[in-house]
Amino acid sequence: GDSVTQMEGPVTLSEEAFLTINCTYTATGYPSLFWYVQYPGEGLQLLLKATKADDKGSNKGFEATYRKETTSFHLEKGSVQVSDSAVYFCALVTNFGNEKLTFGTGTRLTIIP
Amino acid sequence: DAGVTQSPTHLIKTRGQQVTLRCSPISGHKSVSWYQQVLGQGPQFIFQYYEKEERGRGNFPDRFSARQFPNYSSELNVNALLLGDSALYLCASSLGPTLSNQPQHFGDGTRLSIL
């Protein structure tokens, strides 16, 4: 079945550091890929998405590129801020049969000033 | 505009009991999905409903059921509760039926504890 594997956390970085959170997937067909974020005390919200190979999703300085050849969708940001501290979830939806949103286990990110 | 609202916020039940969780989608949204999030894990898809019809189902036992009402609100029912059903239950809504191109808007969840 479909699955998403995320880099294990927690991840702690200093402000202005470069961030990478790895995400790889297994899916039937050609999935759409997502990053969701959960800030402290808030609900899950969509951060960015990509719907086909080589697409780059971007939002709030975060980027992720849909790499079909490596089945990956790594999240990156060039300079993190304390306000980026949150739990990040990689997710996919396959466009094949019983459509469902499949999440990874989440990566807790803490940015220290 | 109000976001996705879920009730109750917290709930404590004992093994074998039944529970009903409620979700009101964002105004105008016709799709509602339910997820179970166990502590330390990502959300797991339970059901999706669109226009009152079940559109998708995850790998959950028949003890889990749901329905959607004409006003697009939804209920999730769980029968014969087990200790393993303790989790945060999330509801998400979207405008259209397709999960791949419709951003999902999540509520804050109902935390269910089974004693």
Does the distance separating the beta carbons of B104 and A101 come in below 8 Å? yes
Using the Cβ of A107 and the Cβ atoms of chain B, whether some distance falls under 8 Å is answered with no
- Average pLDDT along chain B: 94
State both tokens at B57.
């189902």
Instruction: Compute the C-alpha angle B29/B60/B94, nearest 5°.
Output: 10
Using the Cβ of A89 and the Cβ atoms of chain B, whether some distance falls under 8 Å is answered with yes
Does the distance separating the beta carbons of B107 and A99 come in below 8 Å? no
Q: What confidence tier does B40 reach under pLDDT thresholds 50, 70, 90?
A: confident
Task: Report pLDDT digits (tens) over A37-80.
Answer: 999 988 899 999 999 999 999 999 999 999 999 999 999 999 99
- Predicted local distance difference test score (pLDDT) of residue A96: 65
Using CB atoms within 10 Å of the CB of residue B15, give its burial: 0 to 12 exposed, 13 to 18 middle, 19+ buried. Answer: exposed
- Average pLDDT along chain A: 93
- Predicted local distance difference test score (pLDDT) of residue A9: 83
Does the distance separating the beta carbons of B56 and A100 come in below 8 Å? yes
Does the distance separating the beta carbons of A95 and B100 come in below 8 Å? yes
Using the Cβ of A45 and the Cβ atoms of chain B, whether some distance falls under 8 Å is answered with yes
- Predicted local distance difference test score (pLDDT) of residue B109: 96
Query: In angstroms, what separates the C-alpha of B17 from chain A's closest C-alpha?
Result: 28
Query: In angstroms, what separates the C-alpha of A109 from chain B's closest C-alpha?
Result: 14
- Predicted local distance difference test score (pLDDT) of residue A112: 97
Q: What confidence tier does A97 reach under pLDDT thresholds 50, 70, 90?
A: low
Using the Cβ of B64 and the Cβ atoms of chain A, whether some distance falls under 8 Å is answered with no
For the beta carbon of residue B97, count every other beta carbon within 10 angstroms. Answer: 17
Q: What's the rounded Cα separation, in Å, for the pair B8 and B66?
A: 16
Mean pLDDT of the region B12-34: 97
Which of A43, A99, A100 lies closest to B106 in CB terms? A43
Task: Report pLDDT digits (tens) over A70-94.
Answer: 999 999 999 999 999 999 999 999 8
Mean pLDDT of the region B74-100: 95
Comparing A22-31, B16-25, B60-69, the range with the smallest average pLDDT is A22-31
Query: In angstroms, what separates the C-alpha of A101 from chain B's closest C-alpha?
Result: 6
Task: Report pLDDT digits (tens) over B57-86.
Answer: 999 999 999 999 999 999 999 999 999 999
DSSP secondary structure code for residue B59 in this structure: S
